[in-house]
Amino acid sequence: MRRYLRLHRIFVVQYLKRLMEYKVDFLLGAFGLLISQAIQILFLGVIFSQIPDLQGWTFEEIMFIFGFSLIPKSIDHLLFDNLWMVGYRIVRKGEFDKYLTRPINSLFHVLVENFCVDAFGEMLTCVLLLGYAIPRLNLPFYWYTIPALIVVVIFATMIYTSLKIMTAAISFWTKASGHIIHMLYMTNDFSKYPVTIYNKAVQTVITYVIPFAFTAYFPASWFLTGKDPLFCIGGTVIAGTVLMAIALFVWNRGVNAYESAGS
Amino acid sequence: MSRMKHFLRTYKPFTRAGVQEMIAYRANFICFFIGEIMSAFIMYFVWKAVFLSSDSESFMGFTMEDMVVYLFIAFLTDYLTYSDGAFAVGEEIIDGSIAMRMIRPCSFEMCFLFQELGNRLISFAMIFVPLVGGVEIYRYAVTGAIRLDPLCFVLYLISTVIAYMISFYFNVCYGFMAFFFKNLWGTTLLKETVVSFLSGGAIPLAFLPSGLAFVLDILPFASLRYTPIMLYMGMYSPAQIAWHLALQLFWLLVMIGVSKLIWRSAVKHLSVQGG
């Protein structure tokens, strides 16, 4: 474990050195994400200029859920973005050989190799949104609010990462799966709004099948109201754990099925 | 006439290659399409909640029916006018393979254009009928009448073709600039978000403050998406139709001109080492 932590630091430092070469590009990437979030908030602003609340949710509450959804999303984006490359390129081009020849776990190596600083754009939006919403909301505060937040963020991030691991691992059989990662990943946008606005079918899917609702709406609603802690917080923990177990299983099977690119 | 024939014979193979490429990767295309259309459905639910929470039938002049048409036709138009064929220009300049294009007896942008037309043809075949059909069935179910006006439909098609051409030349210009940047993902995200917003992809321009909406309506971005959608929805008077189509043609000519200028100066400064 110690060794892995040390290796992680070395990888990040390596990445930051590469990054300093392309400062402008980094700023553009982060700025792009910031703008794309800002436009969605502008859209919500236009809506709320005409209606007092959205099916019982106030503007501040919607901002809180929206901002909350960006916490696990941006952490996963920052740390584990390299999985996209597995789906798009690494397996298809046979570059995965490299990871198999190293004396560390292949999944660990893939995860820590890249450090996607574009995610700072999302993090900044997240801080701005929560900074706007929290003082305007009368949130219940208990001694266990902060520990609960930490637990939720860890497991919600695991939901993101394990869904990406699973879909990236499909490429071990099909050579490329970037489009499948994309398809599943895009479902996360449903979690930005209260699930009560969707119909039953969509609610069921994003709660029990692709449980992105546990990355934002359910935990956020607990922080907002203090109701249903068992389902809102417990659900996130269970969803994160189960998905990660499945993801590791699929990944390990996939690595065994990997047959390089030949040549 | 024979020149036209020669022209078509030269570029037909590019279109065929584009079609074949698209067919080979159709599974990828469909997965991407499903991923992207989810955002339109999210917006549908958001708007449904908005109309449920609001006392009036219309939101800033749009009914729920209008909003559904707007969302899905905006999505369709975005797909049909999407262009990244010329994106490779930047990469080819860096690695020098652009030299191969320059010695070929055909124009570089026409090669890209015809190849991409093949691509668009297949995506048109795959998504046009389901989307327009879905929108019209929805309208029929809600209002009990067939709402699609054939004239609006034809105007939409004409306007979308012009919009695609503007998008193509706009992206040729972008392709030249992109080679200064390494983080293409970030730069492209930035460009697409800004263009999407300015062209009414996120919010109908009519919802913005009137001064801003007026300026955006004249800028080339509205020609990319907003104008075709408004034509489909029959929102314009005959005078407005003529004005907006003329504006589209004007911006198309400007984009062609700018891309030619950039190409000329790029060729002058191009130096390809070795080979």
Query: pLDDT digit string (tens) for B139-150?
Result: 898 888 888 888
Is B275 among the domain residues? no
How much is the pLDDT for B87?
Answer: 64
Residue B82 Cα, gap to closest chain A Cα (Å): 18
Crossing angle of helices B88-95 and B150-178, in 10° steps, is: 20
Please report the pLDDT score of residue B179 as a whole number: 60
Global pTM exceeds 0.80 = yes
Contact B49 A54 (CB under 8 A): yes
B274 domain residue, yes or no: no
Which residue among A32, A184, A192 sits closest to B189, beta carbon to beta carbon? A32
Of the two residues A48 and B186, the one the predictor is more confident about is A48
3-state secondary structure of B62: strand
- Look at residue B16 and tell me if it is in a domain: yes
Q: Which of A22, A51, A118 is closest, CB to CB, to B182?
A: A22
pLDDT tens digits along A144-166: 888 999 999 999 999 999 999 99
User: What mean pLDDT comes out for the span B115-137?
Assistant: 87
Q: Which residues of A223-238 are buried (b: 16+ CB within 10 A; e: fewer)?
A: bbeeeeeeebbebbbe
* Lowest-pLDDT range of A17-21, B121-125, B228-232: A17-21
B31-52: b or e for each residue (b if 16 or more CB lie within 10 Å)? Answer: bbbebebbebbbbbbbbbbbbe
Mean pLDDT to the nearest integer, B163-167: 93
Does pLDDT of B275 surpass 80? Answer: no
Give the per-residue pLDDT at B274: 54
Is A182 within 8 Å of B32 when comparing Cβ atoms?
A: yes
Q: 10 Å Cβ neighbour count for A155?
A: 24
d(CA B247, CA B96): 37
The count of C-alpha atoms lying within 13 angstroms of the C-alpha of A184, restricted to the half-sphere facing its C-beta, is: 20
ipTM of the complex: 0.84
In this predicted structure, what is the pLDDT of residue B166? 93
Helix (H, G, I), strand (E, B) or coil at B58: strand
For a pLDDT cut of 90, what percent of chain B falls above it?
A: 27
Higher pLDDT, A2 or B272: A2
Chain B contact set for A199 (CB, 8 A): 45
Report the length, in residues, of chain A. Answer: 263
pLDDT at residue A13, rounded to an integer? 80
Task: Report yes or no: A213 at the B interface, CB cutoff 8 Å.
Answer: no
The answer to whether B35 contacts chain A (CB < 8 Å) is yes
Taking residues B145-166, report their average pLDDT.
Answer: 91
Domain limits for position B76: 2-269
The amino acid that residue A106 corresponds to is S
The pLDDT of residue B180 is 60
Candidate from A115-124, B72-81, B179-188, B206-215 with smallest mean pLDDT: B179-188
Mutate to test the interface with A, among B34, B37, B42, B48 (most CBs of A within 10 A): B42
B32 touches chain A (CB under 8 A): yes
Of the pLDDT bands very low, low, confident and very high (cuts 50, 70, 90), residue B91 is low
* A186 to chain B, closest Cα gap in Å: 5
Among the residue ranges A105-109, A139-143, B90-94, the one predicted with the least confidence is B90-94
Q: Chain A: nearest CA to B34, how far in angstroms?
A: 6
Q: How far is A81 from chain B (nearest CA, A)?
A: 12
Q: Is B57 on the interface with A (CB under 8 A)?
A: no
How many angstroms away from the CA of B95 is the closest CA of chain A? 19
Of residues B201 and A202, the one with the higher pLDDT is: A202
Is B63 part of the contact surface with chain A (CB cutoff 8 Å)?
no
pLDDT at B272: 62
Q: What is the pLDDT of residue B94?
A: 65
Candidates B46, B182, B190; nearest CB to A197:
B46
Percent of chain A with pLDDT over 70: 97
Residue B155 above 60 pLDDT? Answer: yes
Mean of the per-residue pLDDT values of chain B: 84
Using the predicted structure, report yes or no on whether residue B273 has a pLDDT greater than 80: no
Q: Which residue of A has its CA nearest to B206?
A: A46
Helix, coil or strand: residue B197? helix
Kindly state whether A190 is in contact with chain B, defined as any CB-CB distance less than 8 angstroms. Answer: yes
User: pLDDT-derived band of residue A26, with 50, 70 and 90 as boundaries?
Assistant: confident
At B11-47, the pLDDT tens digits run: 788 888 888 877 777 788 888 888 888 888 999 999 9
Residue B213 lies in a domain: yes
| Confidence tier at A220 by pLDDT (50, 70, 90) | very high
The answer, yes or no, to whether residue B76 has pLDDT greater than 50, is yes
As a whole number, the mean pLDDT across chain A is 87
For residue range A83-103, list pLDDT tens digits in order: 998 888 888 888 888 888 888
Low-confidence winner among A237-251, B78-92, B176-190 (lowest mean pLDDT): B176-190
Q: Which residue in A197, A209, A212, A217 has the most chain B C-beta atoms within 10 A of its own C-beta, making it the best mutation to test that interface? A: A197
Range in A47-51, A178-182, B45-49, B175-179 the model is least confident about = B175-179
User: Residues B250-261: pLDDT tens digits?
Assistant: 999 999 999 888
As given in the structure block, the two tokens for residue A263 are: 């040549």
Domain count, chain B: 1
Coil/strand/helix, residue B82: coil
Domain regions of chain A by residue span: 11-257
Please indicate whether residue B74 or residue B192 has the higher confidence score (pLDDT).
Answer: B74
- Rounded to a whole number of angstroms, the distance between the first and last alpha carbons of chain B is 39
Indicate if the pLDDT at residue A116 is higher than 50. Answer: yes
Of B35, B52, B190, the CB nearest to A55: B52
Residue A58 near chain B (CB below 8 Å): no
